[in-house]
Structure 1
Amino acid sequence: MRKHYNFTGAYALYIEQLIALKQKLGYKYTSAQELLFRFDRFTIERAELSPGITKELSDAWSERIGFESDKYRQRRIRILVQLSSLMNDIGVHSYIPVFPKVHERIVIPYIYSQTEIVAIFKACDEVQISRRLMNCYVIILPALFRLLYSTGLRINEALALLDDDINLDQNYLIVRDSKNTKERLIPISESLSSVCKEYLQYRDMMPLNRDKNYFFVSLNGSKCKSGVVYGWFRRILLDAGIPYKGNHQGPRIHDLRHTFAVHSLAKMAEEGTDLYCALPYLSIYLGHQSIRATNGYVRLTAEMYPELLKNVNVVCLNVFPKTEYHESN
């Protein structure tokens, strides 16, 4: 359930207008509301009585708080930029602060080989537990990791799937709770559908009181948490004989999404498909906001399978700037 914030400061009216505008544009804007509430309290503590954000108020809000990270400080300042911009647009003069520079960590995708993917599936099928724990996730592992690789879903998108979101008779699923708030329909293969049906047979034999009819649940029926799945994935990598490098070098669960994209492009190139005609379809399939994010996978595919893409116009690979990868892609 979303928390409701009661804004009472001098900027309450404009804060509520900003939230309403963002939500009408399709943004969830939930974490931003918490920051706006903090700004509302901040203005009350400073006894700000009339609207119109001054440089003094902006500088005070933008000061680093304790040991907060650069990234979190930038989020606070971005919220003020959005509020000031809206107020200027409606005729209330407000100072717009300058963003501080933040050096984001660049993630180098790890692309699993076909042999490693097979080893991961085998490890999922053979994992055993030493004692019975009703909050254990072992039942979901074979279906979940096959689903992640076969569809390119983000882990949180997969764990948010409900029973009604997956049609195993017509072989498709619907992603409703996505990063970019875009609902999308994804076809799935007959083999993946069979694995999911087998999982359901075992799951439905359990005397569960399931949490909101989530498709993937632990043995006690509760929704699975991504943090716990990450722990299981470390064990799967170990059993599959895939070294975990650590220090942000992976391999990560999210790399299954990168691998899906690269393997899909390689397969299309092998079949003679024009990749730049296929790219918009892959972009929609992955739930990207723009084709720019998807374009980076063409570069990766070209690097990994140079013989397959030797006939692709090299100029096309430079249509967009070189892509930097982050965990949210």
Structure 2
Amino acid sequence: MSRKEVFFMKNSNYNSIYGLYIEQFIDMKLKLGYVYRTFSTILSQLDRFAEQTKETSPGITKEFAGKWSERLPNEGELYRYRRVRLLAQFSSYLCDFGIQSYIPKLLPHPKSTFIPYIYSQQEIDTIFRACDELRLQVANMNSCLFCFPVLIRLLYSTGIRISEALALEKDDINLIENYLLVKDSKNSKQRIIPISTSLASVCKEYVYYRDQLPLNKTKIKKFFVNTNGNSPSSNAILSRFKECLTKSSIPYVGGGQGPRIHDMRHTFAVTSLANMAEAGIDLYASMPILSNYLGHQSFDSTNHYVRLTSSMYPSLLKDIDKVCFDMFPKFNNYETD
């Protein structure tokens, strides 16, 4: 359990008849390895809803579940699905304590039409050049340009998430044995990522100039820093990335449709699968490797990349239907964060 999660728990403010049970439910979830932020908002809404409906005794009723399951104004189907699913889990938890509760039927999982953007090698080369050519218009010690070109290359070369990259500390990257350690991940899975010699060389050059900054070296904790030694914000990184897309003549659609910086991760996964297939590595062997490398909790997320790779490289994965399509359910939703 992280210090942040402990802080949230100690500062929780659940006031309904279910307040104590919600805190216990959260404690159980955290001990099972779930991340607090993924369900805390919905549970807070559930607590307020119980207050508003003046629930006086514990035990989810069919009427309460029905009202809770109604679609809210401007609410997406996916969020509604998550709300109903979490209520069903919480109600089941209450039943385990001998508190009779109605468990609502789950709604059909909404299908996502999201398709990740896969950068071509030519686009990647153009983005790298655009990163290198970025210049400050005015002096700004809080600018992320100092580390930006290296960060983008690392995202493309390793497939780690932007949040994981920005969370890397100085000692998390070993440039002697060429690997990095991801500790602050989406699924709370610590993993070691090997890096190429060329990426290690780029990182070494960055470290050399970073260590020349007139800063107190003991105060620099993160690997990627601004010129003043502070960690760059994700918003600043995303803003600079959009600028690079413009310079690279890659249209930015927006509205979550990209092309996004997270699509570097999708590109890494697809090109890795294609390279392994071209090298003759059996998918039964490559799937677990890639899944663990990306930090996925299950093969489902990794399998989406198999389908995408098969559509982009049909000659490489011509037998994909025979190998994998009957093993994994046909979902359209891709990892989006």
TM normalised by structure 1 equals: 0.89
Among 260, 264, 271, which residue is 2:272 paired with? 264
Name 1:127's counterpart in structure 2.
134
Single out whichever of 130-139 and 291-300 deviates more from structure 2.
291-300
Contact 2:270 2:308 in 1 (8 A): yes
Q: After superposition, what is the alpha-carbon deviation per residue over 1:196-220, rounded to whole angstroms, capped at 9, x for unaligned?
A: 1211222222244687712222223
Task: Give me the CA root mean square deviation.
Answer: 2.6
Gap change, CA 1:54 and 1:147, over 3 Å in 2: same
Matches within 5 A, 1:92-241: 92-100=99-107, 103=110, 105-208=112-215, 213-241=221-249
In structure 1, what is the Cα distance between the partners aligned to 2:195 and 2:136? 30
Contact 2:168 2:182 in 1 (8 A): yes
The SS at the match of 1:138 is coil
Contact 2:111 2:331 in 1 (8 A): no
In structure 2, what is the Cα distance between the partners aligned to 1:246 and 1:44? 38
Residue 90, structure 1, aligned to residue 87, structure 2: no
Name 1:277's counterpart in structure 2.
285
The SS at the match of 1:133 is coil
Matches within 5 A, 1:22-101: 22-63=29-70, 67-100=74-107
- How many aligned positions are there? 328
The SS at the match of 1:252 is coil
In structure 1, what is the Cα distance between the partners aligned to 2:32 and 2:145? 40
Contact 1:84 1:94 in 2 (8 A): yes
In structure 2, what is the Cα distance between the partners aligned to 1:36 and 1:234? 35
TM normalised by structure 2 equals: 0.87
Identical amino acids, percent of aligned pairs: 53
Contact 2:123 2:248 in 1 (8 A): yes
Contact 1:269 1:275 in 2 (8 A): yes
Gap change, CA 1:58 and 1:230, over 3 Å in 2: same
Q: After superposition, what is the alpha-carbon deviation per residue over 1:218-267, rounded to whole angstroms, capped at 9, x for unaligned?
A: 22333222222221111111222333344544222121111111211222
Q: CA deviation at 1:173?
A: 0.9
The SS at the match of 1:219 is coil
Gaps of 5+ in 1: none
Gaps of 5+ in 2: none
Q: CA deviation at 1:168?
A: 1.3
In structure 2, what is the Cα distance between the partners aligned to 1:154 and 1:34? 23
Among 286, 294, 301, which residue is 1:293 paired with? 301
Residue 302, structure 1, aligned to residue 306, structure 2: no
In structure 2, what is the Cα distance between the partners aligned to 1:83 and 1:64? 19
Single out whichever of 56-65 and 5-14 deviates more from structure 2.
56-65
Contact 1:9 1:40 in 2 (8 A): yes
